[in-house]
């Protein structure tokens, strides 16, 4: 999809009320142009935003959660825990410090 995004052009149409609408490439909804302002990434060759503001927010939240999960795993690994183990980290902690569970 990344390679195809370079070739995408924002689709637009006039609705029944004579107002312009643009199609979001993520949710495929037709929305007013003001819902596409403030885009830095996900733009076409002409600088038009391809993703509506609500979809951009959802994508940003997913990226933030992925980054936080990676940071969490890095900290636990640095502390000597195996995050890929079948044994949960809390059990590894109890075993490491001699607590009974």
Is residue 2 pLDDT above 60, yes or no?
A: no
Phi, psi for residue 24 in degrees, rounded to 5: -80, 130
Identify whether the C-beta of residue 8 lies closer than 8 Å to the C-beta of residue 24. Answer: no
Task: Mark residue 78 as left, alpha or beta (left: phi above 0; alpha: psi -120 to 50; beta: remaining).
Answer: alpha
Identify whether the C-beta of residue 80 lies closer than 8 Å to the C-beta of residue 55. Answer: no
Listed by start position, the domains of the chain span 2-97
DSSP string, 22-33: EE-TTT--EE-G
Which residue intervals of the chain are DSSP H helices? 2-5, 53-78, 89-97
pLDDT single digits (tens) 37-59: 888 888 888 888 999 999 999 99
Is residue 1 pLDDT above 50, yes or no?
A: no
Is residue 76 pLDDT above 90, yes or no?
A: yes
């Amino acid at each position: 999809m990344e390679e195809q995004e370079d070739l995408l052009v924002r689709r637009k149409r006039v609705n029944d009320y004579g107002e312009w609408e643009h199609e979001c490439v993520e949710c495929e909804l037709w929305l007013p142009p003001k819902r596409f302002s403030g885009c830095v990434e996900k733009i076409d060759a002409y600088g038009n935003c391809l993703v509506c503001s609500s979809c951009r927010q959802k994508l940003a939240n997913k990226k933030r959660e992925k980054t936080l999960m990676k940071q969490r795993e890095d900290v636990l690994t640095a502390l000597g825990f195996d995050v890929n183990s079948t044994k949960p980290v809390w059990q590894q902690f109890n075993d490491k410090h001699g607590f009974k569970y």
